[in-house]
Each structure stands twice: as C-alpha cells, then as structure tokens.
Structure 1
Amino acid sequence: MAERRGGSAAPRPPQKRRPAGARPSGGSGRDAASSAKTAATPTGRTPARKATQPRREPRPAARPATRRPSSGRGAPRRYRKTVRMPIGETRLRIRVFSILAAVAMVIVGGKAVFLQGIDSSAYAATAAEKMRYTQDLAAARGTITDRNGVVLATTEPAMIVSIDPKIVRTNGADERYPMTKRKIQEKDAAPNAVADLLVKHLGGKKSDYLKAIDTPDTRYKVVAKRVPAATYIALQADMKAGIDGDGKRPWYGVYSESDPIRVYPNRTVAASVIGFVNADGKGATGLEYALDSTLRGTPGKQMFESSTYGRIPMGDNTITPAVDGAAYELTIDSDVNWMAEQILANGMKKAGAKTGMAVAMDAKTGEILALVNNPSYDASNPGSADTADLGNRTVTMAYEPGSVQKVLTMAALADQGLVTADTRVEVPARIASGDRYVRDSFDHGTLKLTARGVVAQSSNIGTIMLARQMEKSTLSDYLAKFGLGSKPGSGLPGESTGQLPGGDMPDYTRDQISFGQGLSVNAVQMTAAVVAAVNGGIYHQPSIIASGTYADGTPVDVATPTSRRVISEEASAEVREMMEAVITLKEGREIPGYRTIGKSGTAQRYDADCKCYNGFTASFVGAAPAEDPQIVVYVVLDQPTNGNLGSQLALPVVNDILSMMLPRYNVAPSTTAAPDEPLTYD
C-alpha cells in the first residue's frame, strides 16, 4: 500500500520494485521534484511513482536558464535538502501569525492610549520645549552727566551679530527637496561670500568666520559683540544686495540682537572719575564700577517658537521687557575739569613731575567740582593706557602731605585757645626730637616769629614748638575729626584711609605729624580737611554724586553727605589770617581782584620699593576769597625734577585754576585789600 502524504492524497497503483543500486529513469521536472521532496521525508522510503513518461533531454550546460523554471517544467535539477521549521502545518502557521499580530496591535494601541490619554500633556510640553527658544533682551545702561547735564557716559544702540551656520551653508535652501543648478551654485558660494562680508564690516580673520560657519551641531553662533548699529546696517545692506548686487539673489543667515555700547563723549575728561566698562558691559573702574548694580538695569527675555528653518511667524511669543539702568548726575563741572586738566598738564611739564593731581571743592558743601589725574586715559579706549593710570590717584594714593598739614595743626591749636595769628615764638636754628634734630628748609639763626610768620615761612621748628603745648591724644583727635585716618566717603571706589598715629604716639611722632611727616593722606581727604579749617570750622563729607533717578522716574537713594563742626568760627578766622600771610609774603602770588589764602607743602616721598625716603612731593592748597572762601583748590605734583618747593611748582597751578573758576561761579571780587600784619616781632 502506498504511503499517504498529509492524510489527504488518493491511493496510488502499485509499482514495480527497482533493483538495489539502480538509477531511476529520467522523468519530468514534476516527478523529479516529487522525488526530491519524498527523499526528504522522515521515513527515508522512496514513494511510488506514476507510470514512466518519455524522458526529456537536459539542456546543454553551456546555456543555463536565466530564470528559475516554474514547477514541473524544465530540466531535472538536483535539490539540496530543505531544513523545515517544526511548525509545518498551514493552519498552525496562520494561528501563530495571528497571535503575533494581535500582540503587536495591543502594544501599539497601548502606547497610543498612553501618549494621547494618560501622559499627553507631558509629552506635548516636552515637544513644545524643544521648539521654544529664549533670547535675552539687553537693558540700556544708565547715563552719567555732570552738574550741568553734560553727558559724560551714555549708551548707544549696538548689536550682537550672530549666524545660523546651516542657513549660511545652504543660503536658505531646503535640502529636503531637489535644487536647481543655480541654487546649488549659490549654496556652494555662500560660506565664502558671507565670510568675506563679515571681514569687510566687522574685521577679524576669514578663517575664523569659516570655522564658525562650518559648525553642524548648532543653529546659533555669535561672531561679534558691541557692533555699532550703523555698521550692522551696512553689513545687512551687502547681504541683501547678494550675488549680483541687485538684491534678487541675497545671502542669508546673518542676524542681530540688541547689545548697547557704552560711549564716553568727552573721552579723557574726568575719565578717572567716570571709569569704563569691560567687554562684558560691567563696570571695571571709577563710578562705572561703584554704581554698576544700578547703572546696568535688569535684562529682559523673549521666548518664541522656532522650527528647523527659523522662527514660526504665528508661534507663541512672550516678552519680559528689560528695565533700563538708573541715571546719575555728578557734582563735577566737565568744562572746569577739562580746563583744569590742561592747566595741570602744563604745570607738570614745567615741574618735570611724574604724576599730578588736582582737586577743586565747594567750600560751603564739600561737593567736588573738578577732579584731575595725570597721566589719565581715554575712557573710550582704556586698553591703550598703562594699567597704573587706570585708577584714581586722588583717592587711592596715600602720601605724606608735608607743610600743608600745618594748617590743621594751627586750627587745632587755635580752637584750643593756645594760638592766635599774633602768638609769638622764638625759633632756634634746630630742635631736638627723639634722638635727632629737626631743621627748617632754610638756614637761619634764632628767629622771632608770630604764628602768622611761622605759617608764612613754613617753619617746622616753630610748628613743633607750638604743637608741644597740646596733648598728643588731643592733636590726634582733632586730625581724626578733620577726616584723616578714615575713608573720605566721597562715593569713589578704592579710597585709601591714609595713616594717622593714635594718641599714644611717641613724642617725636607728635613733632613729625605737626608739620606733615609721619602720617599719610589722599588728595580728596586733605582737601576736605582744609575746607573745614577755612570755611568757618564745618567739615563736609566730600561728595561727587549729586543725585540718581531710576528708569521709572523714582529717585535713587543716594547717601546724603554728613557735616560736623570741628573748630569754632573764631579759630577758622585765625587760620585764614595765617594762610593769607603766605600769599602776601612774596610778590606774584596774588590773583588779580581777589584776596586769596594758601599753604605750600614739600614732603619727602616714601618709596615702598626701597622702604626709604626717595624724592619729594610738592603741593599747594589755595582758597578764595580770603574773607569768605567759596572754592578750595589743592594740587599735588609727585616726584618733580625741576625743583621741589610747592610754593614754586604747585602754587602757580592752583592760581591758574582759581582764576578760571572764580568768575565762572560768579564769585564777587574782593572789595578790601589784604591786611599788612607782622610776621616777626622784636
């Protein structure tokens, strides 16, 4: 009985058994295929075949079939043994496939439900976040003006210039779609063309711009900051002109953001006062540094939606406006400051001084009207200056004041009732102090001087003899009340305190500080002290910030300068009388039309490098009019080489500045002549 296949085939007629080892006769392709399939059955038996049919000759080997012959046709082939999977039944295959398909549908459906129903808001937020961009909006830095409204520092429109590297590389073409030959040419030329335009308008190296353009992992690259608006407008004009210059085929991919630039219209005028901002727009020196927190304002933000090809026109756009910085008005007069700068520079040239300082102060308020440092710098280009010149020496540099200090010593003595201008003192050629002797700057025998004469002739010995009447602690206390030994509190950054010995100082130290050695001051500190000595005895804290106003119009809380009485009006009058004798002592020291007062100073200069005295500091302080001082001017020349006397080098500078300022501030000329009071006695 023939073997059944699959349990459904009809029974076949019996066949003759083929002798062992005999080859089967050639049959049709179908028979050959059946034989091959049967040979692969698990039983290994050869099933019965149908009746022998005529054998067809095989095709020549030289002409192989170009395609696989259909079942039952063509020459007999030798088949490899087929490896079948355990699942062999059609119904089973269908069942397994159906189960797998059902599982897949459950997974996909579940994910869809999760995304749309369970966590749709979270995924939507994540997707939106990837499309949302934040851009900072710069706040305009506040303006700084002088007492007359003249702008000293302001902010002008400028730009951060950035590129979208992808847009530049493709010149805005969408690479997802086929491009014309012309578009391809534009795309290939764009990087070099845009880089050339950036060099033309922004400067820099073309290689740096090409490197920025060839950045595939970003859509935003800053190529320049603080670019003037006019420069960016010119750049955009060339970008829009494009390849042919007619605007029909522009270049794309260069953008801008607001990046205001700091401008100093008067350049060197009061540069040491105003200071400058650094590359990040933060105050680096001067008032730009001291007031930075309120000057810079509060930046804003803009949030917008963007796609791969730029901002979405109708997308969500949220803006938090920037709040501009506060504006400040100063006490200084920029015109006076400029003229004082010229006068000081001329005086330094004549003296051969290394550095110079000038301070002009309102004697009634302590307001600083002019403040000059030389050498100075251009605030618009601070990088070209020596680092040592970027500060403000009038508040940072501590030095020994020399004989200008005698004004304060005499003021303290006069307030104690120990000295008047007519007090007599017999001055020897020298005086012992500690283990040394002190001499005057000029040789002399015994002199009979009034206190007026001691100040006029600047006698160190006479000052020591008068100061020894006072307790050391009392002298130290008076000097502290005049502001020595503490920061002036002017509002300028970097103020030094100077150095003031305490009340327990040695006797020889009391001798030294009485005539201006053994203690140190800064120029603003000393000016304010002299103002108190000559204005009737009131110390006014020096100030340079008059007022401030926030962008919304509300006032800034500016510290109000303090005032205090140090000496009596009578004592102050005695001091003025002594100081006027300095002017009347020699011809040529007066200012035409005004009675003036003053005091010179020549001090040995302490050199921190060698820790020794090296060179001199020449100075002079003057005020006018003598009857009721309105303006006090103090000039310091450091390390002069053409002499060292303050009365010769610094006095002319003070007089020139006062001569310029008195008429400007409508100070009435004097109506009486200076008294001719005795400097000596018999």
Structure 2
Amino acid sequence: MIKLEGALYPWRFRLVLLLLAVMVGAIVWRIIDLQIFDHDFLQAHGDARSVRHIPIPAHRGLMTDRNGEPLAVSTPVTTLWANGKELQAAKAMWPTLAEALGQKPDDFARRLQANANREFMYLVRGLTPEQGQKILDLKVPGVYSIEEFRRFYPAGEVAAHVVGFTDVDDRGREGMELAFDEWLAGVPGKRQVLKDRRGRLIKDVQVTQNAKAGKALALSIDLRLQYLAHRELRNALVEFGAKAGSLVMVDVKTGEILAMVNQPTYNPNNRRTIHPAAMRNRAMTDVFEPGSTVKPFSISAALETGRWKPTDTVNVAPGWLRIGKYTIRDVSRNSGVLDLTGILIKSSNVGVSKVAFDIGAEAIYSVMQQVGFGQDTGLSFPGERVGNLPNHRKWGQAETATLAYGYGLSVTAVQLAHAYSVLANNGRSVPLSLIRVDKTPDSVQVIPEDIAKTVQGMLQQVIEAPGGVYRAKVPGYHVAGKSGTARKTTAGTKGYTPHSYRSLFAGFAPSHNPRIALAVVIDEPTKDGYYGGLVSAPVYSRVMAGGLRLMNVTPDNLPSEEDVKTVDATSNKGGRG
C-alpha cells in the first residue's frame, strides 16, 4: 500500500526531500554567516555574558572661598559590597567579618540571611582606603569593593549654611552644593572588565570612557571674614541668651556677599545628631519685620519727592500719635521738634509717620521696592524667600505709618544688607552674588545720587551724634547705620508675642567712601536688654572693624596731630604728678 502511494504520488516524496534540503541549507548558511561574515553577533552575545562595564566615579569639583581657601574637597573612599549568595557558603567567617566592620555579629547574620538570594548588597560605605583594604585582606568569599569619593568640609560649621553638603551618593543636597550640583558633579567614566558567571572579576580590560572631573567653584565669601562674623555672632547669642541670629556682609561695589553666618549652626562632616532647625540658612529663609532699619528709606522717599529738605522739622510732641484705634508711640518719649536727621537719631515713629502722611505711602513703597524689599535677590539659593512688600489699592493712615517705620512688611537679612549697600553705593543697585566676581557688574541708579549721599551723612550722625548709637562706632573710621527693634509674631496667633523681639542693626563703612554693608539680626535676646542699639550694634562694630582691617581699607577718622600731642602732654603731666 505504501509502495503504491509512493508510486502514484512521486512528487510528494520529492517535495519533502526538497524542503529538508532547504532547511539544512539554511542552517548551514547561517552557521557560515555567523562564523565568517557576521561574527560580531556571536561576539556581542558572548561579551554580554562575560564583559561588564563598571562606572568610574567622577571627582567632584573643588569649592573655595574668594582667595582660594578650600571649602569643600573630595577625598577617595572605599565602599564594600557583597554577593549574598556567595556569602552563604562562608558562614564560618561571618563573625570575623562583622567584627572587622564594627557591627554586632547577630545583627549582621540576620541581615545576611535576609539578603541570601541577592547578588548585591552594601556592607559599608565611606571607609578610608586603608580601612577597606584591611577588610578585603580577610579574603571573605563574596566581599568586593567600589572606589567612590566623599566630600569633606575644612571650614566645618563656620561656612556650613553657605556651602551646604552632599549625600552618601555625592549629590548636592543643601546650599551651594545643591545650587551648583551639575557644575560640580562631573561625568562618571566607564571601565570594561571580564567577569565569570558568578560576577567575579577575571580581567580588567580597558577604560572605555574617562571620568570627567567636576568644575571648580570660587565663592564670593572671604573665609577670614566668615570666621570673624561666626565668632562674634556666637558670642552675642551667649551673652544675651538669644535664640538665633544671622549676619550678612556685602561688598558695596561688586555686590559680592563676603560673609554670611547663622546661629545655631551644624558640622557638615558629622551629621548624625543634627537638628533640622540648625540646618536652616536663616539669612536666606527667615523673614521678619525690619522695624526702624527701614526709616532711612522712608526719609529717602521724602527727599526724592522734593517736598522735604533735611532741615525741615516735625513736631513729635507729646511722643505719641492716635490713628483710629491704634496709637503710635516713640520709645524714647520724644517731645518737641525734630528735623529729618533728628527723626533718624531719635528713631521717632511719630516723626516718620507724619512725614509719610505728607508724601503718601506710594512714594515709600516705590523706594523700598527699588532697593530690593519683596523682590528676588537673583542668588538662586535653595529655599530662599522673597519676603513681602504690601501694595494696597488704597492706603489708609495706619498702613502708611506702619510701612514707614518698618511694620507690615517682611524681609530677609540678605535683603536688608543689600538695601543698605544701595544707599552706600550712592543709590546704585548692584546684583548680589555668592560667586566671586572678577569684573565689576553693571549697576542701576534707583535712588538719586545726591539724596543717597545726604542720607549717608544722616546715618553717620545716627552713630556719631550725641545720643546716637555709640556702641556701633568703629575706631579709626567714620561709619553709618541704623538700629531697629521689632516685635515678633507667632505662627497661628494674632498680634505680637509678649516680650519677644528681634534686635537689628544695619549700616555701612567708611561712611564717606563705603566699601562694606552689614546687617545683623539677633532673634529673641532674653538677658540684659533687647534693643538693637544694645544687642546688635556691638556685633556690627566688632565685625565691621575687623572687616575693614582685613580688606585694607584706609582709616578716615584717625586723630589729628594736635589731638595726639594734647593726649601725650596730658599723659606726661599725669606721670609727673
């Protein structure tokens, strides 16, 4: 029957043979093609099972102060990892490995058991190369190492709020480390290696892509000034039992921030016990009502309208002023007549309010906006706040008065320092910078030069005139500034918290050719007073004195030869007596 069918249908048999021949031919051709013509295919798949590319960490860029002093450097560290499956075959060595890692044997064993089926797990990160090599020398099967970098901060807590820090993966998480992460980070490289099926390294083949180191970053701060400001602010908090404080120093001509310190602070090299509040850069993130420190800008607005001259007077008797249900009071219980300079010296709320009623709140608002209140500083610092400068459609007397003497608006310490730098720079506003500036930036005239110079002279009298803030004086220099004392509000409550104040002082020096603008904010002093002229002014004096000397600014208030001779003669007479 079979022979009959084959005889009857010979073409079927030939078709089957032909199909078999075609299949065999296709297989043979594919073998020849893969071995001779397309051998890259087999090589690629073979390499995929044995060739690996492991990352080469990039060296993060160096961060320095304006003079090249290191603020953040990267040091090589060793990270140890393990293949959980391989470690299961070496349980006898677990206690030895746990001891070398500084871990409890029982906890370590439970951790390895929980990761028994994983081919990768971290054992410890950030060891020094010497520590890592000691553990590798134990020859524990399944334990391997990775070369990484760890950030170190030579200035420690002194520059922590500005510099910030990186996380365990060397990525920026705070401060300038975060703001310039892409600039500093660099690009990791790749190394081609051969590994067996268990992932063990057989051969280091070649570097396929070199790591590209991050770029260096020179900040505007001067580490010498930073140390000085940090010390004086810390001492003031201890002396007056204050809760916190901030200090900002600005180069008047370039807009560079020369020092920025906050208390409390933290050590970025050891962050195990850091309290979150200590990590806050208060100079950038904390807003407050600036109080009397804004009165010079209200006076500037009055002079700019042309309705007022420095010699014009205001009757501030009897030292208080009733507006509806509100009463404006002068702390010093002023009475009588004050000119515009006297309003600043006596810090008269009544006087500046009457001036504000005459010129209108819009004029004061315009000046405050031009000097940077309620505006972005352009620093692009993580978490920075812009504060609030209210702009009412219709200004009532109460809103006008409070704006004039520094309530109803909120600013940061950086904005306050910048505003005073505008006055110090003859009314020209220069953009702030936390990066070193090698070329003087363009400036914008926001207050007429003659008015700015007039206010500079007034603020010098605030310190040097009888009854002025003598604690802010700097030996050898004429300086200018204004104190302020602002009541504090508490979140979630209406009105002001009893017996809770911020002590403020802002100014610039030398007053005839200013180089430095400085703002000091001390939060909730609890001992020996709370007025800005008592608490913050001495900090201003000491930091400004050290800053002027470190920047080699020529003294402009040295005693004359006649004064020196008179002092010498008096001393000699006293010696003979």
Same fold (TM over 0.5): yes
The equivalent residue for 1:144 is 63
CA separation of 1:124 and 1:112: change in aligned 2, threshold 3 A:
farther
Q: Is the 8 A contact 2:94 2:105 kept in 1?
A: no
- Post-superposition shift, 1:227? 2.1
Is 1:116 the equivalent of 2:31? yes
CA separation of 1:264 and 1:505: change in aligned 2, threshold 3 A:
farther
In structure 2, the residue corresponding to 1:577 is in which secondary structure? helix
**Aligned equivalents of 1:411, 1:125: Cα separation in 2:** 76
1:558-577 to 2 correspondences below 5 Å: 563-577=443-457
Paired amino acid for 2:423: A
Q: Deviations over 1:386-417 (max 9, x none)?
A: 11121211011110000001011112222333
What percent of counterpart residues are identical? 29
Q: Is the 8 A contact 1:476 1:502 kept in 2?
A: yes
CA separation of 1:108 and 1:213: change in aligned 2, threshold 3 A:
farther
**Aligned equivalents of 2:223, 2:44: Cα separation in 1:** 57
- TM-score, structure 2 normalization: 0.85
Paired amino acid for 1:647: G
**Aligned equivalents of 2:22, 2:128: Cα separation in 1:** 59
**Aligned equivalents of 2:324, 2:250: Cα separation in 1:** 38
Is 1:579 the equivalent of 2:459? yes
Q: Is the 8 A contact 2:360 2:400 kept in 1?
A: no
The equivalent residue for 2:569 is none
Q: Is the 8 A contact 2:50 2:195 kept in 1?
A: yes
Is 1:636 the equivalent of 2:521? yes
Paired amino acid for 2:61: G
| Runs (5+) with no aligned partner, structure 2 | 1-16, 561-577
Is 1:607 the equivalent of 2:517? no
CA separation of 1:123 and 1:106: change in aligned 2, threshold 3 A:
farther
- Post-superposition shift, 1:126? 2.9
- Post-superposition shift, 1:491? 3.8
- Post-superposition shift, 1:304? 2.5
Is 1:591 the equivalent of 2:474? yes
In terms of fraction of residues, the more helix-rich structure is 2
Is 1:521 the equivalent of 2:411? yes
Q: Is the 8 A contact 2:163 2:175 kept in 1?
A: yes
1:185-204 to 2 correspondences below 5 Å: 190-193=90-93, 195-201=95-101, 203=103
Q: Is the 8 A contact 1:476 1:503 kept in 2?
A: no
**Aligned equivalents of 1:504, 1:470: Cα separation in 2:** 16
- Post-superposition shift, 1:506? 1.9
- Post-superposition shift, 1:107? 13
In structure 1, the residue corresponding to 2:249 is in which secondary structure? strand
From 282, 288, 296, the equivalent of 1:399 is 288
**Aligned equivalents of 1:255, 1:648: Cα separation in 2:** 61
From 403, 424, 427, the equivalent of 1:534 is 424
Q: Which has the larger displacement, 531-540 or 664-673?
A: 664-673
- Post-superposition shift, 1:617? 1.1
RMSD: 2.9
| Runs (5+) with no aligned partner, structure 1 | 1-101, 171-189, 240-249, 549-558, 675-682
Q: Is the 8 A contact 1:331 1:543 kept in 2?
A: yes
Residue correspondences, number: 529
**Aligned equivalents of 2:222, 2:293: Cα separation in 1:** 26
The equivalent residue for 1:463 is 352
Is 1:440 the equivalent of 2:330? yes
Is 1:159 the equivalent of 2:78? yes
Q: Is the 8 A contact 1:191 1:213 kept in 2?
A: no
Q: Deviations over 1:582-626 (max 9, x none)?
A: 212345542211111110001111211324311211101132212
CA separation of 1:116 and 1:306: change in aligned 2, threshold 3 A:
farther
In structure 1, the residue corresponding to 2:228 is in which secondary structure? helix
- Post-superposition shift, 1:254? 3.0
Q: Is the 8 A contact 1:411 1:533 kept in 2?
A: no
The equivalent residue for 1:627 is 512
Q: Deviations over 1:170-190 (max 9, x none)?
A: 6xxxxxxxxxxxxxxxxxxx5
The equivalent residue for 1:658 is 544
Q: Which has the larger displacement, 650-659 or 534-543?
A: 534-543
CA separation of 1:207 and 1:355: change in aligned 2, threshold 3 A:
closer
- Post-superposition shift, 1:440? 1.0
Is 1:476 the equivalent of 2:476? no
1:204-223 to 2 correspondences below 5 Å: 205=105, 207-208=107-108, 211-212=111-112, 217=117, 219-223=119-123
In structure 2, the residue corresponding to 1:162 is in which secondary structure? strand
From 128, 133, 142, the equivalent of 1:228 is 128
CA separation of 1:198 and 1:300: change in aligned 2, threshold 3 A:
farther
Is 1:128 the equivalent of 2:128? no
Q: Is the 8 A contact 2:262 2:283 kept in 1?
A: yes
In structure 2, the residue corresponding to 1:502 is in which secondary structure? coil
In structure 2, the residue corresponding to 1:331 is in which secondary structure? coil
**Aligned equivalents of 2:394, 2:440: Cα separation in 1:** 34
In structure 1, the residue corresponding to 2:332 is in which secondary structure? coil
**Aligned equivalents of 1:377, 1:646: Cα separation in 2:** 26
CA separation of 1:505 and 1:487: change in aligned 2, threshold 3 A:
farther
The equivalent residue for 2:297 is 408
CA separation of 1:368 and 1:505: change in aligned 2, threshold 3 A:
farther
CA separation of 1:517 and 1:253: change in aligned 2, threshold 3 A:
same
The equivalent residue for 1:185 is none
- TM-score, structure 1 normalization: 0.72
Is 1:509 the equivalent of 2:392? no
- Post-superposition shift, 1:464? 0.9
**Aligned equivalents of 1:134, 1:486: Cα separation in 2:** 49
From 286, 307, 311, the equivalent of 2:196 is 307
CA separation of 1:583 and 1:363: change in aligned 2, threshold 3 A:
same
1:3-14 to 2 correspondences below 5 Å: none
